[in-house]
């Protein structure tokens, strides 16, 4: 059976009109990865249900029959380093990889998805059009306007598309820099009718995304995915999953979630509940009760994110009965000071209680997720993380404990976007490893080098496109990026500037013309609050002293 023949569709594709727009919708990775992306599934189904579009899918390993002259080629991007595959796919379609070399004979190349919505600038030169924000309204608006200018010149098409809210046409903005390798000076539209600021789009309906296809070939075999919530109300100061997607929205239990789950469970018995903070759905308990019915006894359940203080014995029991052995909770740190700095409203006793409940409910293991190099972190904070892990072990003996740990990476549109990556983070990861392993606690650090690459792309500007093109030839290790930086010395800023430097809050950010859900003034307020605010006077003076001596952020003291 071919890969596509194994698909069970949960929608009915429409036969396109004769003059439908030939469109290729690509995922820049293998089919198994792409088809597991709920975002990709939903956009594809939306296009396949339109009479005015003839959509064909393209992955790096397989493809449907492609039109000879596509008018639009789109990419959904979930992972930064997939840009290499985008460039390869464009070449295989005989489309110039840089937008500036495309002419009226080439299709419009658009991109969307979390990576581009966060900070599209390093990739801006490769796209004609970038969709910023939720696709629900953006995509139909894009197609409708495109239809109106379908036969016009490329420049007319781009100008028309740039006037749709949330649609960003990078080539219509000019970026000036203080110096060749200095900070951004200004970002301005080239024509008066082009908006100076593009506002990311927010969908406000109470029906969220659900799988449109179930297949055994997906990376999560036969999974049916339901988006329970979108965004997260917690607003941890580093968290893009919260800040970039605000406000927090929930799918209606009666009119949306239950009918969707019933539909999905007719074709599979594997259910995934998705969202940045699933257990914060106001009717989560009712949802859990619904799934606990005996008729769903054979259902395998996965929950994307569980907030630590919502781990009840009932939740653990439901998961254990539904074939889940382990639970992951993000605690970030064992230090109360750091959790206050990042606005994680969580205490060590709640973490310990979560472990006790997980064990009582029959789960075999608990994974905790932490971070090294959080702004304000001192060596004693890491000692506190070790102590916390030991206390959990004591309180819930027999529960297998793992601490996964990444390095803090600044993300655009969050209050911590101005902080660089702490150079000590690698050593600190090693410290945790050394302390936890002998205690029988598994420690799984995320690669520090990968965090550096993430930070580079996360705070990159348009000048990075040259570097990305070069690195593509060298391979995807940190060494390859360093080699490319060496080659471009003097032409672009260095790695230190993008990754490690604390940026001034007065400098123009590469994404200044792209407006997230919150204005910069609010992000600055939240930053100031993190650094200097506290109800506890001792904590306040501790934080103030630390940051005053260490930071050169201006205008927020």
Binding site for ligand SF4 (CB under 6 A): 232, 234-236, 239, 241-242, 276-277, 330
CA 166, chain centre distance (Å): 18
Task: Check the CA dihedral 264-113-419-515 and report its sign.
Answer: negative
- Nearer Cβ to ligand SF4 (408/485): 408
Residue closer to ligand SF4 by CB (options 241, 556) is 241
Q: Name which of 166 and 415 has its Cβ closer to ligand SF4.
A: 415
CB of 235 to ligand SF4, least distance (A): 6
75 or 416: whose CB is closer to ligand SF4? 416
Pairing state between β 129-131 and 167-168: antiparallel
CB of 107 to ligand SF4, least distance (A): 36
The CB-of-247 to ligand SF4 minimum distance in angstroms stands at 13
Hey, which residues does 214 pair with through a beta bridge?
A: 8
Closest by Cα among 517, 464, 419, 451 to 202 = 517
Q: Cβ of residue 276: shortest distance to ligand SF4, in angstroms?
A: 4
Find the shortest distance in angstroms from Cβ 242 to ligand SF4: 3
Minimum Å gap between C-beta 421 and ligand SF4 is: 18
Nearer to ligand SF4, 371 or 388 (CB): 371
SS (H, E, C) 221-237: CCEEEEECEECCCCCCC
Local structure of 420: helix, strand or coil: coil
294: left (phi over 0), alpha (psi -120 to 50) or beta: alpha
Residue written as token pair 């936890």: 436
Give me the least distance between CB of 526 and ligand SF4, in Å please.
12
Considering the complex, state which of residue 87 and residue 235 has its C-beta at the smaller distance from ligand SF4.
235
Nearer to ligand SF4, 41 or 242 (CB): 242
Burial class (CB in 10 A: 0-12, 13-18, 19+), 447: middle
CB of 413 to ligand SF4, least distance (A): 13
Bin 125: left if φ > 0, else alpha if -120 < ψ < 50, else beta. Answer: alpha
| Residue closer to ligand SF4, measured from CB, 138 or 241 | 241
- For residues 329 and 368, the answer to whether their CB atoms sit within 8 Å is yes
User: From CA 98, how far away is CA 170, in angstroms rounded?
Assistant: 11
Do the beta carbons of residue 462 and residue 127 sit within 8 Å?
Answer: no
The tokens for 422 are 């702490």
């Amino acid at each position: 059976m071919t890969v596509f023949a194994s698909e069970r569709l949960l929608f009915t594709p429409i036969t396109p009109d004769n003059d439908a727009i030939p469109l290729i919708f690509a995922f820049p990775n293998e089919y198994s990865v792409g088809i597991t992306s709920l975002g990709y599934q939903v956009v594809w189904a939306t296009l396949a249900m339109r009479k005015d579009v003839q959509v064909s899918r393209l992955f790096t390993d397989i493809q449907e029959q492609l039109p000879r002259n596509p008018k639009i080629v789109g990419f959904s991007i979930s992972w930064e380093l997939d840009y290499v595959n985008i460039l390869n796919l464009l070449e295989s379609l005989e489309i110039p990889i840089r937008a500036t070399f495309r002419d009226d004979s080439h299709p419009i190349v658009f991109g969307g998805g979390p990576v581009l919505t966060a900070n599209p600038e390093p990739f801006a030169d490769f796209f004609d059009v970038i969709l910023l924000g939720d696709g629900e309204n953006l995509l139909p608006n894009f197609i409708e306007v495109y239809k109106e200018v379908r036969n016009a010149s490329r420049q007319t098409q781009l100008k028309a598309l740039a006037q749709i809210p949330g649609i960003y046409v990078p080539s219509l903005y000019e970026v000036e820099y203080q110096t060749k390798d200095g900070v951004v000076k200004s970002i301005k539209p080239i024509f008066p009718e082009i908006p100076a600021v593009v506002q990311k789009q927010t969908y406000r309906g109470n029906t969220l995304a659900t799988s449109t296809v179930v297949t055994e070939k997906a990376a999560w075999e036969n999974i049916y995915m339901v988006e329970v919530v979108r965004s997260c109300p917690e607003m941890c100061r580093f968290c893009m999953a919260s800040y970039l997607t605000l406000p927090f929205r929930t799918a209606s239990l009666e009119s949306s979630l239950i009918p969707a789950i019933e539909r999905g469970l007719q074709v599979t018995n594997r259910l995934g509940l998705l969202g940045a903070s699933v257990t914060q759905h106001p009717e989560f308990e009712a949802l859990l009760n619904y799934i606990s019915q005996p008729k769903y006894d054979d259902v395998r359940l996965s929950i994307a994110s569980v907030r630590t203080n919502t781990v009840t014995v009932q939740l653990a029991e439901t998961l254990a009965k539904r074939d889940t052995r382990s639970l992951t909770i993000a605690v970030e740190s064992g230090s109360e000071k750091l959790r206050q700095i990042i606005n994680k409203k969580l205490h060590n006793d709640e973490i310990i209680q979560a472990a006790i409940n997980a064990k009582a409910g029959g789960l075999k293991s608990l994974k905790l997720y932490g971070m090294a190099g959080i702004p304000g972190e001192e060596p004693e904070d890491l000692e506190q993380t070790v102590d916390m892990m030991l206390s959990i072990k004591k309180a819930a003996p027999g529960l297998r404990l793992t601490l996964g740990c990444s390095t803090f990476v600044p993300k655009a549109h969050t209050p911590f976007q101005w902080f660089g990556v702490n150079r000590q983070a690698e050593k600190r990861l090693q410290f945790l490893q050394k302390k936890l392993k002998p205690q029988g606690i598994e420690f799984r650090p995320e690669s520090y080098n990968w965090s550096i690459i993430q930070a580079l792309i996360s705070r990159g500007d348009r000048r990075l496109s040259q570097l990305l093109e070069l690195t593509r030839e060298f391979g995807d290790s940190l060494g390859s990026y360093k080699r490319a930086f060496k080659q471009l010395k003097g032409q672009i800023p260095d790695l230190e500037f993008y990754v490690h430097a604390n940026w001034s809050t007065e400098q123009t950010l590469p994404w200044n013309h792209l407006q997230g859900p919150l204005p910069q003034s609010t992000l600055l307020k939240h930053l100031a609050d993190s650094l200097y605010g506290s109800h506890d006077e001792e904590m306040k003076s501790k934080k103030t002293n630390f940051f005053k001596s260490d930071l050169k952020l201006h205008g927020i003291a």
